[in-house]
């Protein structure tokens, strides 16, 4: 749990860079605008980062920042963030879809919308990072998942949409083992690509942004 008071990063006057960045990742404007309208997403003032906000009740308690520059990768939590209240979207359904990142979460929603042309009333949660079960001890649920289930009694089914790599698969299996018997669970990794944003970009034919090192960065062989 955080040892410092929670502070949201200062907001920029608009969300143009965040909007452009997420559109470039394949996410539809309707989904982006929905998150901005409900205070779940905005652009930071100084570095123009995407700020994904999580709430404890009606109060912000968590912020995950994602850089919008194509040639640099930045991911970091806001000061005093409480991981129990990570980024989530709640609906009226009994299924909770669980992801490693907020962008994967929004990408999955976009893939659903592409099939049905509407937003489903399901529940979505980002763990804000890969869950690493401890060796030689009983696995516990990630803090964000445990808190979400405690606050939402209507959830009955957990769909684990973690990354399609060794870390994601081992984390999904550990979560399944730690879930109480009243929940059913399924492993739902992306069919192609490492994560659901890669799958979305492949589906839409968007080329990945690959950083190429400049000549002075290359080592002599």
Residue with tokens 């559109």: 23
DSSP 3-state of 164: coil
Reply yes or no on whether the pLDDT at 179 is more than 50.
yes
pLDDT in tens, 78-122: 999 999 999 999 998 999 999 999 999 999 999 999 988 777 779
Rg of the chain (C-alpha set): 18
Q: How confident is the model at residue 132 (pLDDT cuts 50, 70, 90)?
A: low
Residues 211 and 66: their CA atoms lie apart, in Å, by 16
Q: How confident is the model at residue 220 (pLDDT cuts 50, 70, 90)?
A: very low
Q: What is the 3-state secondary structure (H, E, C) of 9-61?
A: CCECCCCHHHHHHHHHCCCCHHHHHHHHHCCCEEEECCCCCEEEEEEECCEEE
pLDDT in tens, 1-54: 667 899 999 999 999 999 999 999 999 999 999 999 999 999 999 999 999 999
User: What value does the mean pLDDT take over residues 128-148?
Assistant: 78
Burial state string for 66-86 with b = 16 or more CB within 10 A and e = fewer than 16: bbbeeeeeeeebbebbbbbbb
Q: In this structure, what token pair is assigned to residue 212?
A: 């190429």
Q: Are 102 and 52 in contact (CB under 8 A)?
A: yes
Q: What is the pTM of this model?
A: 0.89
Residues 90 and 84: their CA atoms lie apart, in Å, by 15
Q: Cα torsion for 102, 107, 108, 112, to the nearest 10°?
A: 140
């Amino acid at each position: 749990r955080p040892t410092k008071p929670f502070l949201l990063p200062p907001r920029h006057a608009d969300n143009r860079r965040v909007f452009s960045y997420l559109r470039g990742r394949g996410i539809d404007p309707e989904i982006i605008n929905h998150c901005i309208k409900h205070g779940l997403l905005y652009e930071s003032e100084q570095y123009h980062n995407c700020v994904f906000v999580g709430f404890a009740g009606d109060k912000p308690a968590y912020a995950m920042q994602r850089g919008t520059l194509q040639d640099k990768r930045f991911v970091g939590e806001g000061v005093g963030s409480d991981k129990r209240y990570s980024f989530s979207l709640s609906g009226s359904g009994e299924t909770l879809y669980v992801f490693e990142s907020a962008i994967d979460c929004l990408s999955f929603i976009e893939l659903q919308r592409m099939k049905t042309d509407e937003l489903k009333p399901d529940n979505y949660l980002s763990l804000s990072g890969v869950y690493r079960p401890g060796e030689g001890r009983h696995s516990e649920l990630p803090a964000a998942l445990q808190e979400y289930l405690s606050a939402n009694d209507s959830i009955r089914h957990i769909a684990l949409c973690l990354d399609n790599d060794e870390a994601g698969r081992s984390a999904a299996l550990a979560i399944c083992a730690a879930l109480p018997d009243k929940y059913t669970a399924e492993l739902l990794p992306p069919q192609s690509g490492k994560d659901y944003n890669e799958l979305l970009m492949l589906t839409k034919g968007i080329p990945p942004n690959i950083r190429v090192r400049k000549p002075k960065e290359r080592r002599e062989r």
